[in-house]
């Protein structure tokens, strides 16, 4: 597998072409951004943590029957993934109120949702990723009803598997964002990443934040959350 030219550099990852037209290589950076890029910084070894954590979780989900883009981890920061056309939706699942939902609905952070909440944002940096509903999605022609049903179904299943897995290592899965993409043969699969950048993880006992909120909220020892997640997943 040859790593060819860089296709894209995002806020957290770079994407490279390979000599296989159906495969890309993603390269995870230590760069961190928040509030739609307004706050910038770096978190030591974040790229290594996110690469390993995301691959571990995608492998687990794949075994449970969720199709993902994961192919092979080739270094600390690099992974071969299936090339997809990203569906421009941020699919957000919430078990406990936090962040923008707490603000929007006036629910104190930590309030358990009586029913799991599913939200969509339109992935468009220039518009600030506005929240949209299924009517907007169909009006914009982003996906069909059947495709959105499949995406929602996957999102709830992923939530069930991940919530159970993280509970087993003493972590509450508060909320998370996932992205899906379409392969060249039209199949919808889970893409992008699942990591402390894209999930809220709280210690089940102390409720300490073990994710990017430490960076968003200018807390001390921003990298400690990432390190702790590594420790709980891989030991050491």
Q: Which residues bind ligand ADP (CB under 6 A)?
A: 8, 10-13, 15, 24, 69, 81-84, 86, 179, 181, 191-192
CA atoms of 50 and 52, how far apart (whole Å): 6
User: Which of the ranges 37-45, 47-55, 142-150, 169-177 carries the binding residues for ligand UDP, by CB under 6 A?
Assistant: 169-177
Which is it for strands 171-182 and 188-191: parallel, antiparallel or unpaired? antiparallel
Residue 200, contacted partner among ligand ADP, ligand UDP, none, CB below 5-8 A by kind: ligand UDP
209 in contact with ligand UDP (CB under 6 A)? no
Query: Residue 93 or 148: which CB sits closer to ligand UDP?
Result: 93
The residue written with tokens 């199949």 in the block is 187
Judged by CB under 6 A, the residue of 101, 158, 171, 194 near ligand UDP is: 101
User: Could you tell me if 92 and 119 are in contact, meaning their C-beta atoms sit under 8 angstroms apart?
Assistant: yes
The stretches of 2-79 forming alpha helices (DSSP H) are 46-63
Binding mask 117-146 for ligand UDP (x = CB under 6 A): ------------x-----------------
Strands of 43-139 (E only): list them.
70-73, 78-82, 85-86, 89-96, 112-122, 131-132
The residue from 57, 198, 210, 228 that contacts ligand UDP (CB under 6 A) is 198
């Amino acid at each position: 597998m040859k790593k060819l030219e860089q296709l894209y550099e995002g806020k957290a990852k770079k994407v490279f072409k390979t000599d296989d037209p159906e495969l890309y290589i993603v390269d995870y950076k230590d760069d961190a951004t928040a509030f739609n890029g307004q706050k910038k910084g770096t978190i030591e070894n974040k790229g290594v943590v996110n690469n390993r954590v995301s691959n571990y979780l995608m492998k687990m989900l794949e075994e449970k029957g969720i199709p993902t883009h994961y192919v092979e981890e080739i270094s600390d920061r690099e992974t071969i993934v299936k090339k997809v056309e990203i569906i421009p939706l941020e699919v957000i699942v919430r078990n406990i109120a936090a962040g923008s939902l707490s603000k929007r609905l006036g629910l104190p952070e930590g309030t358990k949702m009586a029913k799991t909440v599913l939200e969509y944002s339109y992935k468009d940096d220039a518009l600030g990723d506005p929240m949209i509903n299924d009517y907007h999605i169909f009006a914009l022609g982003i996906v069909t009803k059947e495709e959105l049903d499949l995406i929602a179904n996957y999102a709830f299943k992923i939530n069930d598997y991940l919530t159970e897995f993280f509970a087993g290592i003493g972590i509450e899965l508060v909320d998370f964002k996932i992205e899906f993409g379409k392969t060249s043969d039209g199949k919808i699969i889970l893409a992008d990443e699942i990591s402390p950048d894209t999930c809220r993880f709280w210690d089940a006992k102390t409720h300490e934040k073990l994710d990017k909120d430490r960076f968003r909220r200018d807390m001390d020892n921003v990298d400690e959350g990432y390190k702790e997640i590594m420790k709980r997943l891989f030991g050491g």
